[in-house]
Structure 1
Amino acid sequence: MATTWLATVMLVAAIVLRGIAAGRTPWSNMYEFTLVGAATALIVFLLLNLRRDLRFLGTFVTGIAALFVVLALNVFYVPATGLFPALQSYWLVIHVGIAVGSAGIFTVSFVLSCLQLLRDSQQHGTRALSGRGWGWLNHLPEPAALEGLSFRLNAIGFIGWTFTLIGGAIWAEDAWGRYWGWDPKEVWTFVIWVIYAAYLHARMTRGWAGRRSAYLVLVGYTCVIFNFTVVNLIINGKHSYSGLTTG
C-alpha cells in the first residue's frame, strides 16, 4: 500500500508537470487521457481504503493502472504542445476532466464486478474455479457486498458522466453552433450513459441484482474503453483531435 501511495503521488506529479510543460490542462490527447484515467483509478482505490479494508482490489486496480501507463508511454506518447483552437476553452477542464475522472471510477467498479462474478461462480461450485489456484477467492467479501460497493461507485461515475454529456453539448454549441450532431464521440458517450442508466434503473426498480447487474457493468465498461480508444483513434469525426496529436 505504501508503494501504491508513492506511485500515485509520482504519477499525479508527472501529470502536473506535463500540464506545466504544455502550458495548459494536461488532458487533451490519448497520452494524457490514459495517464489521468490511471491516476483517478488509483486515487479512488486509495481513498476507499481510508474508510474500509479493500486491499484485495490492489493487485487488479494497480495492474490495470500499470497497463494504462505502459500503453501511454509506448503507444500514445506525444510531446507537450499547444491545442487546437476548438480545445482552447474552459470547457476542456470541465468536460474532459470529468469524463476521464468518471472513467477512472468506472474502472474500479469494473474490477469489483469481475470479482463479484468470480466469487459467485466459486460459491456455486463452478469446476473451473475449484482448483488450488483459485483459493484466494475464499478471502474475498461475499458477492452481495462486492456488488453493493460497485453499485455505489457506478452511481457516482454516472453522475459525472451525465455532466460530461451535458457539458459536451454546451461546448459543442459554443464551438460548432449546435448541441448535437451525431458525431461518433457524441453517439458513444450517449450509448454509455444509456447503458449505465439502464443498469442503475434495473437494479433499483427491477431487482436486477447479482450476476445480471454485473454483466451490465462489464458491457458498460467495455463501451467506455471502446469510446476512449477506437472512437478516438480509428473512427473519423470532430473529436479526431483526441487521438495521438494535439495540433
Structure 2
Amino acid sequence: MNWLDFSSDSFMVAFYLYCAAFISFAIAVAGKRWSNRKPEDHTNRWGKIGFGLAVVGWVAHLTFFFTRWYGSGHIPTSNMYEFMTFLGMAIMFAFIVVHLIYRNMILGAFSLPLVIILIAYASVFPSEAQPLIPALNSVWLKIHVTTAATGEAFFAVGFAAALMQLIRVVDFTRTDKAGKRARFWTEFSLFVIIVLIGFLVAVFAFRGAGYTATFSQEKVTIADDGTASSEFKEVKYGLPPLVKPYNSEKVEFQSFLGMTDAPIESPSWLNGANAGRKLNTVLWSVISGAALYGLLRLIARKQLAAVIHPHLTDIDPDDLEEISYRAIAIGFPIFTLGALIFAMIWAQIAWSRFWGWDPKEVWALVTFLFYSAYLHLRLSRGWQGTRSAWLAVIGFLVVMFTLVGVNLVIAGLHSYAGV
C-alpha cells in the first residue's frame, strides 16, 4: 500500500468536507432569513450539519497527517506545505474545542474559511515528501512546531470571533468621522483577506494555464582583495513577470497581454533570495485581490461588511468578545511553550545558544509580547469591546507575518521552511 498516495487522497477528502461544512454554516447564517421555520431551528439544524461535516473533515485531516508521517518517516511539519496543512488541522481542533465550550454555530462561518484558505495556500508549495535535513532531525521538531502551531490556531479562532464582533457592532448609519473610520478599517480587514484569496486565484489560474517565465540573474561578489566574481542563477516565475530580478536577462518569456518582457526591474537594495519574484507575487496578489474585491462590490452594490452585518444582528457582541478572549487565553500559554521555551531549548541543542536574534526568533518574541499586552490591557486596563477586538485582529496579522513574511521574505536560519 502506498501510504503517501492514501495520505493525499485523505487530504482532498478533508478539503471537500471543509468546503461543505462552510456552505452549511453559511446557510445557517444567511439562509435562516429565507426559511419558514423559526430562525433558531434553521440555524441549529444547518449549524449541526456543518459542525458534523467539520468534525468528519478533521478526522480525514488527521488521517492525512499520520499516514504522511508513516509514509515519509518523519512528522510532516518540516516545510511550508506540511506546516500550513498542520496549522489548518490545528485551527480545526481549536474551533472544535471552542465550539464545544460555547456552542456557537455562527463561529464556523468565519473559522472554516481560514482553514480552507490556509490549505489552498499550502497547495501552492511543492507537496512531495522529502527527507529531513540534518538541522530538523530532532525530537524537538515534533514538540516545538506542534505546540507553537496549536497556540497560533487558537489565536486564529480568536481572530475570527473578533472580526465577527467588529462587523456586528459597526454602525452603517453614522456619518461622522469616527463612524466612517470604523467602517473603513472593518472593510479593509475584509479586503486583506480577499487579497490572499486573490493570490490563490492568480496562482492556480496561471498554473492551470501552464504559464512559465525564466530569467538568468547575475550575482556579482566582491572579495576582500577587491576581485570580483560572477555567478548566474536561473529564476523561474509561475506568474507573468511585472518585476524581473535585478541584473537579469530573460531566458524564456510567454507573452501575456502583449508583454514580451517585464516592465520593471527589482531594485538593487531588495537583495533577498528571489526578491524580484517575491515582489512580483506581492503585486499580483494586490492586483488579483483588488479585482476580486471590485467584482464582489459590483455584485453587492455596497460594502462587504454591510452585506454580512444584517446576518449577525441576532448575536450578542459580548458573547463574541468572550469567545475571542477565551480562545486567545487558551492559545497564549501553549504558544509561549512552543514558540519560545521549547524553541530555545532546541536552539541550544542545535546551535549551542538559546537566542540569536534570527528573524523568526525576533518575530516570535514580537508575537508573544503583543498578546501579552492584549491580555494585560484587557484584564488590568479594562480594554474591552472594539478595542479588544482590534487587538485580536492585529495580533493575528502579526502571526501571519511571522509565518509567511519571515519564512518567505526575510533570510535567516529558518529559511529552509520556505523551500
TM-score by length of 1: 0.91
User: Which of 110, 132, 155 is 2:329 aligned to?
Assistant: 155
How many correspondences in the alignment? 242
Q: 1:106 aligns with which of 146, 152, 155?
A: 155
Q: Which residue of 1 aligns with 2:141?
A: 92
Question: Which residue of the partner structure matches residue 22 of structure 1?
Answer: 72
Task: Give the equivalent residue in structure 1 for 2:168.
Answer: 119
Q: Is the 8 A contact 1:34 1:69 kept in 2?
A: yes
| 1:203 to partner: Cα distance | 0.5
Deviates more, 1:48-57 or 1:96-105: 48-57
How far does residue 163 in structure 1 lie from its aligned partner after superposition? 0.5
How big is the shift at 1:238? 0.5
Q: Which 10-residue stretch deviates more, 197-206 or 4-13? A: 4-13
Contact 1:122 1:137 in 2 (8 A): no
Residue 362 of structure 2: aligned partner: 187
1:1-247 alignment, distance < 5 Å: 1=50, 2-73=52-123, 75-122=124-171, 134-140=309-315, 142-164=316-338, 165-244=340-419
In the alignment, the residues of structure 2 paired with residue 115 and residue 168 of structure 1 have an alpha-carbon distance, to the nearest angstrom, of 33
Question: For residue 17 of structure 2, what is the aligned residue in structure 1?
Answer: none
State the AA in 1 paired with 2:405: V
Q: Contact 2:159 / 2:393 at 8 angstroms: preserved in 1?
A: yes
Q: What is the CA distance between 1:119 and its match in structure 2? A: 1.4
Larger radius of gyration between Structure 1 and Structure 2: 2
1:196-232 per-residue CA deviation (whole Å, 9 max, x = no partner) reads: 0000001110111111111111111001101111101
> 2:165·2:321 contact (CA, 8 Å) conserved in 1?
yes
CA distance in 1, matches of 2:101, 2:145: 28
Offset of 1:132 from its aligned partner? Answer: 6.7
Secondary structure at 2:170 match in 1: helix
Task: Please say if residues 36 and 101 of structure 1, whose CA atoms lie closer than 8 Å, have aligned partners that are also in contact.
Answer: no
Q: Provide, for residues 119-143 of structure 1, a one-character-per-residue CA deviation record: whole Å limited to 9, x for no partner.
A: 1214986696896763211122x22
Which runs of 5 or more residues in structure 1 are unaligned?
none
In structure 1, what residue type is equivalent to 2:136?
Answer: L
Question: How has the CA–CA distance of structure 1 residues 105 and 170 changed in structure 2, closer, same or farther, with 3 Å as cutoff?
Answer: same
- Report if aligned partners of 2:80, 2:418 keep a CA contact under 8 Å in 1: yes
Q: CA deviation at 1:12?
A: 1.5
Residue 77 of structure 1 and its aligned partner are, at CA, apart by 2.9
Unpaired segments ≥5 residues, structure 2? 1-49, 184-302
One-letter identity of the residue aligned with 1:99: A
* Greater helix share, structure number: 1
Distance 1:113 1:90 in 2: 35
1:143-168 CA distance string (max 9 Å, x none): 22211121111111110111120111
**TM superposition shift of 1:110:** 0.3
CA offset at residue 47 of structure 1? 2.8
1:32 partner amino acid: E
Counterpart-to-counterpart distance in 1, 2:118 and 2:136: 24
CA deviations 1:29-61 (Å, max 9, x no partner) are 111111111111112222333333211011211
Tell me, in whole angstroms, the C-alpha distance in 2 between the residues paired with 1:4 and 1:78: 23
Quote the Cα distance in structure 1 between the aligned partners of 2:172 and 2:54.
Answer: 31
Give the C-alpha shift of residue 65 in structure 1: 0.7
Specify which structure has the bigger relative contact order, considering alpha-carbon pairs within 8 angstroms and separated by 6 or more residues.
Answer: 1
Report the structure, 1 or 2, having the larger strand content. 2
- For residues 314 and 56 of structure 2, what CA distance do their matches in structure 1 show? 26
In 2: Cα distance, 1:77 partner to 1:41 partner: 22
